């Protein structure tokens, strides 16, 4: 069964500092990987996705993520954090094999941005 681990429950960074959120997955085949962001009381917004090809993917709001098969990781990065980036971030893996389409999510990383 697939699983996703986000080791950091809570991260605090200063505005303007760089950010890296970690994501490790367990899946038997080629994974499809996603990062979503959730503001309080809201649904999930897609930041970026990886299906195949270039292992460095660009997303919205200046985020990028790198797929490293050897490390089973898909870490999210941003070079300079803005106060509006404060939210909860979820990494997800999808099987996309046969009829299976459900995403498996990590437990999330809460990001606090200090002024």
Partner 1 sequence: DTGVSQNPRHKITKRGQNVTFRCDPISEHNRLYWYRQTLGQGPEFLTYFQNEAQLEKSRLLSDRFSAERPKGSFSTLEIQRTEQGDSAMYLCASSLDGPTDTQYFGPGTRLTVL
Restricted to residues 32-71, the positions that interact with partner 1 (CB under 8 A) are: 34, 36, 41-46, 49, 51
Q: How far apart are CA 20 and CA 92, in angstroms?
A: 16
- Nearer residue to partner 1 within complex by CB, 13 or 103: 103
Backbone angles phi, psi at 84, to 5 degrees: -75, -5
Instruction: For partner 1, give the closer residue by CB, 31 or 94.
Output: 94
Nearer to partner 1, 15 or 64 (CB): 64
CB of 46 to partner 1, least distance (A): 6
Specify the 3-state DSSP secondary structure of 87: strand
Using CB under 8 A as the binding rule, whether residue 112 contacts partner 1 is answered as no
**Closest Cα partner for 61 from 102, 23, 111, 107?**
111
- In whole angstroms, how close is the CB of 25 to partner 1 at the nearest point? 13
Report the C-alpha gap between 92 and 37 in whole angstroms. 11
DSSP 69: G
Q: Which residues bind partner 1 (CB under 8 A)?
A: 4, 34, 36, 41-46, 49, 51, 90, 92, 94, 96, 99-108
């Amino acid at each position: 069964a697939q699983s996703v681990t986000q080791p950091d429950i809570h991260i605090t960074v200063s505005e303007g500092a760089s950010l890296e959120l970690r994501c490790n997955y367990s899946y038997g085949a080629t994974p499809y990987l996603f990062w979503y962001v959730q503001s309080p009381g809201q649904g999930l917004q897609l930041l970026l996705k990886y299906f195949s090809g270039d292992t460095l993917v660009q997303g919205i709001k200046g985020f990028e993520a790198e797929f490293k098969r050897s490390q089973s990781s898909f870490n999210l990065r941003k070079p300079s954090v803005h106060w509006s980036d404060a939210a909860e971030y979820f990494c997800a893996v999808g099987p996309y094999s046969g009829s299976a389409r459900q995403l498996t999510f990590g437990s999330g990383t809460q990001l606090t941005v200090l002024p």
